[in-house]
Amino acid sequence: MTSLPFYQIDAFASRTFEGNQACIMPMDSFLPDETLQAIAAENNVAETAFIVQTGEGVWDLRWFTPTVEVPLCGHATLASAHALFSHLGYDGEEVAFDTRQSGRLTVKRTPDGRYEMDFPAPEIRKMDVTEDVAAALGAWPLEAWGGPFYAAVFADPEDIVSMQADIDLIGKLGVMKDVNRGNLGVLAAGGDGVDVTSRFFAPASGIPEDPATGSWHCMVAAIMGPRLKRAFDCYQAYPGRGAKIGVELVGDRVKLRGDAVTVIEGKFSL
């Protein structure tokens, strides 16, 4: 029986039961893909991140939901850095993660003790607002954008908080102009002490609603950064949890800032 280190971490959280859960599993080399996917299914949280050290301060990083491998995941990247800094003895100023589809990502600790991630800003384009999207969300958005996901913009943050989305209908939205609308975010300017309030639904990736989504906030940065023209604070309004994410668009890069809390530390028996 093989025993692997295991950390379950709430990312974009200042205390337990906030933000989004990620399981972090360092290993000497990546196990076969089918084994990694089976481990992620067993963990059954939004993302399991596997990290393999390749050099001084450098790790290869892969992310799996319970059903698929994904090209980018912000909260599990932050959680991976937290595991390295807080549990695995890393004392450098910055962690570098090499990924298969998103290039090199870096995470550093800020003077106030938070983590700052550096991600690529996605390309976005205006999309049509369609009747099937409005039916799935139960409301008609002001505008829509396409990029890594489909984004629907609303007028009032209360529209986001109170939204009763139909997850089954979102999962059936299909592809429109190369955008998989089964991974769909909603946002509005403003909120309780924040600049942007949003939620993110991803049934196409096996996640009905995600509590805190870094990759989604890269798209939020691309949409709202040119309008706000400054660093801004976001709240992802997942019912019962919620997450606060600092966002800044800097050229073609996005800075994401947040906290993390370890919830479980142990061994995974394989």
Give the active site residues.
47
Q: Cα separation of 45 and 249, whole Å?
A: 29
Q: Cα separation of 69 and 63, whole Å?
A: 6
Which residues, other chains included, contact 162 with Cβ-Cβ below 8 Å and sequence gap of 6+?
A: none
Three-state DSSP at 34 gives: helix
Q: Which of 187, 263, 179, 197 is nearest to 233 (CA)?
A: 197
Query: Two tokens at 224?
Result: 């709202």
CA 240 to chain centre: 18
